[in-house]
């Protein structure tokens, strides 16, 4: 990989009817700073397709491919199919257990996307044991993690850069600042295990508004919590590839 790819990412923008026009001034220049925009879930407040339309209106024609996953808020209205259609109509590619490939001036960027889910982290993780509801909870996370690994595997050898795009957190590092008691509702180590098994160059997630931006999977893959309340700006840009291979803040 020789060329640098600039990935803009943000999550938890929580668009609502009261935020009409708020995003446009901050995203209309994104093409000058990035080659790709990733949205890490919670695009809306309630999962109302009208809220998605507000977001679409503001990021339409931003000039770079936009790839997204949904978050828990986007499922609240039980209208995720309609939400996806609104977003797709505005040029936003929404992934759920799927992957996409974006060509950036000859560099192929693969994005494996999934909402993810909760359950907790190694040593204190819920187990698929006991009541049907408990088993269903963890099996849901495990199923999502397995699908994520399959999608990253499918991209292996086909692209120059692989990114895992999630809403829920795969590691505890990026939850620092959140209350320990809610960690199981914020993410699962099963996601990190799947990513480490399949390999990736970057993991991006949101959901943890009170967490920290930077972390690593146990296998050493960079994880970035791009929840807007964490970034405290419209988005952040991460550069992959290029010449020096060093981390620069």
Partner 1 sequence: MTHEPEAYLVERIRDALAHHPDVAELGITVRVTPDMVFLTGDVGTPERRDAVSAVVEPLAGGRAVRNGISVVPLSEDDVEENLG
- For partner 1, which stretch binds (CB under 8 A), given 19-27, 110-118, 129-137, 143-151? 19-27
Residues in 184-223 at the binding interface with partner 1, rule: CB under 8 A: 201-202, 209-210, 222
Near partner 1 by CB under 8 A: residue from 106, 123, 157, 245: 245
**Nearest-5° angle of CA 178, CA 180, CA 186?**
65
Radius of gyration from C-alpha coordinates of the chain: 17
Contact region for partner 1 (CB under 8 A) — 101-109, 146-154, 164-172, 237-245?
237-245
**For residues 169 and 175, is the Cβ–Cβ distance under 8 A?**
yes
Q: Are 110 and 162 in contact (CB under 8 A)?
A: yes
Q: Residue 23: CB partners within 8 Å, gap ≥ 6? A: 13, 15, 55, 58, 59, 234
Nearer to partner 1, 130 or 232 (CB): 232
| Residue 233 touches partner 1, criterion: CB under 8 A | yes
Among 3, 46, 57, 96, binds partner 1 (CB under 8 A): 46
Sorted by sequence, the CB contacts under 8 Å of residue 77 that are 6+ apart come out as 46, 47, 48, 49, 83
Q: Report how many residues bind partner 1 under the rule CB under 8 A.
A: 41
Q: How far is the CB of 146 from partner 1 (least distance, A)?
A: 26
CB-neighbour burial class of residue 25 (10 A; exposed 0-12, middle 13-18, buried 19+) = exposed
Closest to partner 1 by CB, 88 or 234: 234
Q: Are 145 and 191 spatial neighbours (Cβ–Cβ below 8 Å)?
A: yes
> Rounded to the nearest whole angstrom, what is the least distance from the CB of residue 34 to partner 1 in the complex?
8
Q: Which residues bind partner 1 (CB under 8 A)?
A: 4, 6, 13-16, 18-19, 22-23, 26, 29, 33, 45-46, 73, 76, 201-202, 209-210, 222, 228-229, 232-242, 244-249
């Amino acid at each position: 990989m020789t060329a640098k790819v600039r990935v803009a990412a943000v999550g938890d923008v929580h668009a609502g009817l009261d935020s009409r026009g708020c995003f446009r001034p901050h995203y209309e220049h994104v093409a000058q700073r990035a080659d790709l925009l990733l949205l890490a879930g919670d695009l809306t407040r309630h999962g109302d397709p009208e809220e998605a339309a507000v977001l679409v209106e503001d990021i339409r024609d931003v000039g770079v491919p936009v790839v997204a996953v949904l978050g828990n808020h986007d499922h609240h209205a039980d209208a995720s199919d309609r939400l996806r259609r609104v977003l797709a109509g505005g040029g936003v590619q929404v992934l759920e257990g799927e992957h996409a490939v974006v060509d950036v001036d000859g560099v192929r960027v693969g994005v494996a996307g999934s909402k993810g889910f909760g359950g907790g982290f190694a040593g204190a993780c819920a187990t698929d044991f006991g009541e049907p509801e408990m088993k269903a909870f963890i099996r849901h996370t495990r199923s999502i993690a397995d699908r994520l690994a399959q999608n990253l595997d499918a991209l292996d050898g086909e692209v120059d850069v692989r990114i895992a795009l999630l809403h829920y957190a795969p590691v505890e590092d990026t939850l620092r600042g959140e209350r320990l008691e809610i960690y199981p509702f914020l993410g699962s180590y099963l996601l990190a295990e799947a990513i480490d098994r399949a390999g990736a160059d970057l993991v991006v997630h949101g959901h943890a508004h009170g967490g920290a931006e930077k972390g690593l999977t146990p296998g050493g893959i960079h994880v970035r919590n791009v929840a807007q309340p964490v970034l405290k700006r419209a988005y952040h840009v991460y550069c992959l590839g290029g010449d020096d291979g060093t981390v620069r803040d």
